[in-house]
Structure 1
């Protein structure tokens, strides 16, 4: 009878280093993707400050008026005649909703009022003016 040497029993070990690598990769993905989700505010304009600024959370369309007085729906430039049609083509405000006017602080008051006057012709629309909260 042949005697085989016994293998010394090595205790089983779970190597968690690959799992840690995967967890950090997933964590990095979610952090980076959340950074890109929060920057959907439109074109860069200098907003005026207001101490009573509030965050709006409902269906909304953003209309931007840059320092030159040009109007944009989202990031698409529109003329005054195309403004209402451009908002209606989005389909977001079928039964009312919020239109946020983001006007640069250097734009004349009359220009902002003219755009808001056009927006009031939309049925059931609510208007808001975007501002930046003042730092204490």
Structure 2
């Protein structure tokens, strides 16, 4: 007696059904009256603020934007001026990986007293 194998037939049927479902979903979009949504090119572009970068070398020298600074007072003055100018700006500390965590933590704490939540510690993806 001959038998009909239903598994391949059901596979084809499910594939066709999936095709029609996806096609109908792509062809019918939900429209909300005459509302035109803004695109990325229209409207004002967000101003990207350049972060203030402070570096800490392994010999303990502090750099401001790549330039060696005299001391903590220069860093504080630069940070205060930057934060007053850019309320949402970010101050980034880039510390040498060979420094002890205590040295990095001390500078980071001093920076956070001035900049609060605007201070970040940079890490290298590895």
Q: State the TM-score, normalizing by the size of structure 2.
A: 0.51
Which whole-Å deviations, capped at 9, do the CAs of 1:75-101 have from their partners, x for residues lacking one?
A: 222212321112334567541421111
Determine which of 50, 55, 69 is the counterpart of 2:60: 69
Hey, what's the Cα distance between the residues in 2 that align with 1:104 and 1:111?
Answer: 10
2:79·2:91 contact (CA, 8 Å) conserved in 1? Answer: no
2: CA distance between counterparts of 1:66 and 1:91?
Answer: 23
Cα gap change, 1:94/1:69 in structure 2, threshold over 3 Å: closer, same or farther?
A: same
2:111 alignment partner in structure 1: 119
| Residue 129 of structure 1: how far off its partner (Å) | 1.5
Asked whether the equivalents of residues 73 and 87 of structure 1 are also in contact (C-alpha less than 8 Å), the reply is no
Describe the shift of the 1:123–1:105 C-alpha distance in structure 2 as closer, same or farther (beyond 3 A).
Answer: closer
Matched, 1:103 2:95: yes
How many aligned positions are there? 78
More strand by share: 1
Gaps of 5+ in 1: 1-56
* Residues 48-88 of structure 1, C-alpha deviations (whole Å, 9 max, x = no match): xxxxxxxxx75411110011111111022221232111233
Report the structure number with the largest CA radius of gyration: 2
Inter-CA distance 76–61: structure 2 relative to 1 (3 Å threshold):
same
Structure 1 residues 120 and 88: CA distance shift in structure 2, 3 A: same
Find the aligned partners of 1:130 and 1:121 in 2 and give their Cα distance. Answer: 18
Change (3 A) 1:93 1:62: farther
Q: What's the CA shift for 1:127?
A: 2.0
Mapping 1:1-136, distance limit 5 Å? 59-78=50-69, 79-90=71-82, 93-123=85-115, 125-134=117-126
